[in-house]
């Protein structure tokens, strides 16, 4: 009688223990809208395109002087790098 109860508790612990990790990973990533905001805070202009590339969002911006630049925004840290 003890064995099935132990297995039930162990199974429940394993299932419940994995869910918060998955949920926290989703919460730790920034949205496309946030990525655009971070990029345009550093370089003002018109956003032309945003795409995903590995762990980064790539934000293409048309600058006020007519140049086009690509900025990489890390999906977790929000760090902005000029490509």
List the Cα angle 23/18/14 in 5-degree steps: 155
Its pTM stands at: 0.66
Q: What are the residues facing 21 on neighbouring strands?
A: none
The yes-or-no verdict on residue 16 having pLDDT over 90 is no
The first and second tokens of residue 48, run together, are 């032309």
CATH fold label, 2-82: Nuclear Transport Factor 2; Chain: A, (3.10.450)
Stretch 6-19: mean pLDDT: 52
Q: What is the pLDDT of residues 17-76, one digit of tens each?
A: 544 444 344 457 999 999 999 999 999 999 999 999 999 999 999 999 999 999 999 999
Q: Are 73 and 59 in contact (CB under 8 A)?
A: yes
- What pLDDT is stored for residue 9 in this prediction? 52
Higher pLDDT, 8 or 47: 47
Residue entry with tokens 């905001």: 37
- What pLDDT is stored for residue 24 in this prediction? 43
């Amino acid at each position: 009688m003890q064995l099935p109860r132990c297995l039930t508790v162990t199974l429940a612990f394993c299932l419940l223990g994995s869910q918060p990790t998955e949920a926290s990973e989703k919460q730790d990533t920034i949205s496309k809208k946030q990525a655009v905001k971070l990029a345009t805070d550093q370089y003002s202009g018109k956003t032309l395109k945003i795409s995903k590339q590995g762990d980064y969002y790539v934000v293409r911006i048309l600058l006020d002087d007519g140049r086009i630049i690509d900025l990489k925004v890390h999906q977790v840290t929000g760090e902005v790098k000029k490509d």
